[in-house]
Chains A and B, each alone.
Chain A
Amino acid sequence: MFRNLPVALESAKASLLQIDKSIEEAATNLGASSLRVFTEITLPLIKPAIFTGMAYVFVHCMTAVSAVIFLTSASWNHMTVLILNQTEILRFSAAAVLCLVLIVIVLVAFALLKWILGRNPLQKEIVT
């Protein structure tokens, strides 16, 4: 679910960005509080996008077969599976080290991506 959450959030964000700022200002100007503007104006307008995102995540999670099944073999082990195995036999220190390695790999990958895209200012916002 967490893996698919950004997709749902992005869809809601895109829908939010499409709302003309003056629509919310009009409601405020007529006397609505921030909470009322959000519940009565903003939320109904982004509702379709939120539900679409939620439906996507739900369907994806319900029908997913983990890639781990295909990657793990007798000679190769997946790092996340290894972490789980180490945790199950209560070797937390080994699990922690593996977690750290995993985090570093992810960070390096992100830094690399940011460096590549960062050279083009128009693409800067893609990696957040």
Chain B
Amino acid sequence: MSSQVSFQNIRKVFKDSHSQKDVVAVDDFSIDLKPGELLTLLGPSGCGKTTVLRMLAGFESPSAGDIFLDGKKITHLLPNQRNSAMVFQSYALFPHMNVQSNIKYGLKLRKLTPDEILNRYQKIIDIVGLRGYENRRPNELSGGQQQRVALARALVVEPSLLLFDEPLSNLDAKLRESMRVEIRRIQTRLSITSFYVTHDQQEAMSLSDRIVVMNKGRIEQIGSPQEIYHAPKTQFVADFMGVTNFFEAEVTGETASHYRALTAGFEIEIPKRTDLESPTGKNITILARPEEIVLDQASSIKAEIQEANYLGERWEIQLKMKNGIKIVSRCSADPKAVRPTEGQIVGVRFNESKVTYLAA
């Protein structure tokens, strides 16, 4: 049961309980969700992403703007009158009920026949793989199992909209990865329009059809995971998606597909972006991920190693270039290679095809 959701110029203002001043949590938020799509709101803590989700669920009311579900205005509808189901960060399972009662709770509220309730219950318990745990209470389950109960409880009511509020943040790294795959598999299989909130960029990339990056209550960029990762439109998005090296450069020439830019005493050729207007001035900001900067003694660009940290499969190396610009490189750690040492002068090579830019 796929539904279409539309946010129109949503604004949410809270009153600070101490200073009594207005705090704008969400501003000018407009977006449309396509039926069956999984859209992720990504941003740091306090950027307003959970507030948007809570407004969609009906737990908060927007100060201005409207929310539509399948063309029907639901802005001020009570949470129990919207056909949405939410998976909470803390799972929010009913502690006094066992797995079965937790999952059937929503079905009983919908006054379905006992046969229909049993039918749907049997189906979902197999999908989430919890057969055999039906009589256990939430405190007798592991974090991953509790998360599955929460997911089953939300899915079983066949909502037109599925809401996820950082559902994997309390799980360990390995479980988080497998649950991520599972959520995506179930969501695609049932084709339920889903709204997912997270601050974990990897989670957002692996799950989403589209990502909305938020900062200070406003949308910074909307796009597919590939667009957000490879073509960030603002420095904030680039920074949030793992770009750690930003430096100014002067455009010295261009070809049909590339700009030639001079920075820190060396020239670099970077691919032109079709999604941005051509830089008006001569200055641009180069964005380079640490993975795109490798150590290469043959390179004429020299830098001094300031700090080297071993991360297992890679080295993270802090480098200082001739004119004082500091950069970070993350290059593969060959166990046979010599350990990078502080103070050593090394050659640095940029993987130019992967380096991008923004107007300065």
Contact = CB atoms under 8 A, between A and B. Distances in A.
B141 to A, nearest CB: 16
A23 B105 contact: no
Contacts of A125: none
Interface string A32-44: 1100100001001
A22 B88 contact: yes
Contacts of B90: 20, 22
Interface in B25-67: 57-59
Nearest to A30: B106
Given A31-B80, A31-B109, A32-B109, A26 B92 contact: yes
A27 interface: yes
Interface in A5-62: 20, 22-23, 25-33, 36, 41, 44-45
A28 B79 contact: yes
15 contacts: A20-B90, A23-B92, A23-B94, A26-B93, A27-B105, A29-B80, A29-B85, A29-B86, A30-B105, A30-B157, A31-B80, A31-B157, A33-B80, A36-B109, A45-B96
Range for the number of chain A residues in contact with chain B = 10 to 19
Contact of B84 (A23, A29, A32, A33): A29
Interface residues of B, number: 23
Tell me what chain A mostly uses at the interface: helix, strand, loop, or mixed.
Answer: helix
Contacts of A32: 80, 105, 109
B57 A29 contact: yes
Interface in B227-269: none
Contacts of B57: 25, 29
A65 to B, nearest CB: 39
Q: Which 4 A-B pairs have the closest CB atoms?
A: A30-B106, A26-B92, A22-B92, A31-B109
Contacts of A31: 80, 106, 109-110, 157
Contact of A25 (B88, B95, B106): B88
B79 A29 contact: yes
Interface string B121-157: 0000000000000000000000000000000010001
Interface in B107-123: 109-110
B94 to A, nearest CB: 6
Given A32-B80, A33-B80, A27 B110 contact: no
Interface string B300-327: 0000000000000000000000000000
A24 B75 CA distance: 21
Contacts of B153: 26, 30
A20 B92 CA distance: 7
A31 B156 CA distance: 13
Given A25-B79, A30-B153, A33-B80, A44 B96 contact: yes
A30 B81 CA distance: 9
A85 B348 CA distance: 99
A27 B96 CA distance: 13
Q: Which of A29, A32, A44 has the most CB of B within 10 A?
A: A29
Interface in B323-350: none
Contacts of A26: 86, 88, 92-94, 153
A69 B88 CA distance: 57
B80 A28 contact: yes
A23 B85 contact: no
B77 to A, nearest CB: 12
